[in-house]
């Protein structure tokens, strides 16, 4: 939702990666930013309107990004996508970083506008492991940003690291960064910044999906 500079860049980036994209904007003229080569759907309307979302194909969607110019519209649309249509990967653009904690508790990833780029949104809505945040020049080590999987909530960070053969550089929890200790327990909504050897990435994400081994 939102076809401004960030939304149009995000839509084209996703399409370049062979994803099917639908763009919603209340102003039909905004779709010009997509350019003539864009093949996705362009839906004129309010992105928090359920009928508009249905027309855009929300029931088939894997992710939803609300990147319009209004905080309230973005949050309402994000909540409708998550709570009404069950979309798990939801990202909302906000101008008021003070609201971040509330939205994180609702399970909605937010990024303050000052740090906002289409690239950051892209990494947050693609499947875990699809697009690392960073890869060293040799291609040996990568850093990935993921939401803690449900299966790992309540587990110790040390167990996740040992079983997945990764290292948690830091955790974003309720809008603040924290460095984990051996005793840190993973909580719902935690954003993990994982350092992974490229050759172990497939193993790491398989373990994250599967959940912890029973001791």
* Per-residue confidence (pLDDT) for residue 88, from 0 to 100: 82
Sheet holding 167-173, edge to edge: 134-135, 141-147, 191-197, 167-173, 176-178
Q: Name the β-bridge partners of 178.
A: 171
Chosen domain end from 60, 90, 125: 125
Burial class (CB in 10 A: 0-12, 13-18, 19+), 39: exposed
Does position 112 have pLDDT exceeding 70, yes or no?
no
With CA atoms as reference, report the closest residue to 125 among 161, 84, 93. 93
CATH number at residue 145: 3.30.70.1450
Q: DSSP 3-state assignment of 136? A: coil
Q: List CB contacts of 107: < 8 A, sequence separation 6 or more.
A: 82, 90, 188, 189
Does position 183 have pLDDT exceeding 70, yes or no?
yes
Does position 179 have pLDDT exceeding 60, yes or no?
yes
Q: Which domain holds residue 195?
A: 134-210
Strand boundaries in 73-140, DSSP class E? 89-94, 109-112, 134-135
Residues 70, 144, single domain; the answer is no
Does position 128 have pLDDT exceeding 60, yes or no?
no
Chosen domain end from 99, 125, 151: 125
Q: Using an 8 Å Cβ cutoff, are 77 and 47 in contact? A: yes
Residues 43, 102, single domain; the answer is yes
Residue 83 lies in a domain: yes
Q: Nearest 5°: CA angle at 125, between 108 and 182?
A: 70
Mean pLDDT of the chain: 85
Residues 84, 13, single domain; the answer is yes
Residues 21, 64, single domain; the answer is yes
Residues 47, 80, single domain; the answer is yes
The percentage of the chain sitting over the pLDDT mark of 70, rounded to a whole number, equals 85
Q: List CB contacts of 176: < 8 A, sequence separation 6 or more.
A: none
The percentage of the chain sitting over the pLDDT mark of 90, rounded to a whole number, equals 46
Q: DSSP 3-state assignment of 95? A: coil
Residues 62, 90, single domain; the answer is yes
* Per-residue confidence (pLDDT) for residue 156, from 0 to 100: 95
- When pLDDT is averaged across residues 198-204 and rounded to a whole number, the result is 90
Does position 172 have pLDDT exceeding 70, yes or no?
yes
* Per-residue confidence (pLDDT) for residue 139, from 0 to 100: 78
Residues 23, 83, single domain; the answer is yes
* Per-residue confidence (pLDDT) for residue 117, from 0 to 100: 57
Tell me which of 114 and 201 has the higher pLDDT: 201
Q: 94-124: b or e for each residue (b if 16 or more CB lie within 10 Å)?
A: beeeebbeebbeeebbbbeeeebebebbbbb
Residues 179, 91, single domain; the answer is no
Q: List CB contacts of 51: < 8 A, sequence separation 6 or more.
A: 45
* Per-residue pLDDT tens over the stretch 136-163: 778 789 888 888 988 999 999 999 999 9
Residue 65 lies in a domain: yes
* Per-residue confidence (pLDDT) for residue 118, from 0 to 100: 61
Residues 82, 165, single domain; the answer is no
* Per-residue confidence (pLDDT) for residue 115, from 0 to 100: 47
Does position 41 have pLDDT exceeding 90, yes or no?
yes
CATH number at residue 112: 3.40.50.720
Residue 95 lies in a domain: yes
Q: Which of 37-46, 131-140, 145-154, 187-196 is predicted least confidently?
A: 131-140
Chosen domain end from 104, 125, 146: 125
- When pLDDT is averaged across residues 176-205 and rounded to a whole number, the result is 91
Domain count, the chain: 2
* Per-residue pLDDT tens over the stretch 42-99: 999 999 999 999 999 999 998 999 998 888 899 899 989 989 999 988 888 887 766 7
* Per-residue confidence (pLDDT) for residue 72, from 0 to 100: 87
**CA distances (Å), 128 to each of 55, 110, 111, 148, 201, in order?**
27, 17, 18, 10, 10
Residue 17 lies in a domain: yes
Residues 99, 192, single domain; the answer is no
Residues 143, 111, single domain; the answer is no
């Amino acid at each position: 939702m939102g076809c401004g500079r960030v939304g149009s860049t995000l839509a084209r980036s996703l399409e370049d990666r062979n994803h099917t994209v639908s763009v919603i904007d209340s102003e039909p003229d905004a779709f010009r930013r997509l350019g003539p080569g864009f093949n996705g759907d362009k839906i004129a309307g309010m992105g928090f309107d359920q009928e508009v979302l249905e027309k855009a194909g929300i029931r088939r969607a894997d992710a939803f990004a609300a990147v319009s110019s209004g905080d309230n519209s973005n949050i309402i649309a994000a909540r409708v996508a998550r709570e009404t249509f069950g979309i798990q990967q939801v990202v909302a653009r906000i101008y008021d970083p003070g609201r971040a904690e509330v939205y994180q508790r609702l399970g909605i990833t937010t990024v303050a506008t000052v740090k906002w780029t289409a690239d950051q949104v892209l990494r947050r809505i693609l499947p875990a492991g699809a697009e690392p945040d960073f890869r060293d020049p040799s291609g040996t080590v990568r850093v990935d940003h993921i939401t803690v999987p449900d299966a790992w909530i309540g587990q110790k960070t040390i167990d996740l690291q040992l079983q997945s053969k990764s290292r948690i550089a830091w955790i974003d929890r309720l809008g603040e960064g924290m460095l984990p200790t051996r005793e840190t327990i993973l909580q719902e909504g935690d954003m993990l910044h994982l350092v992974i050897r490229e050759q172990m990435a497939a193993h790491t994400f398989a373990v994250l999906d599967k959940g912890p081994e029973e001791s």
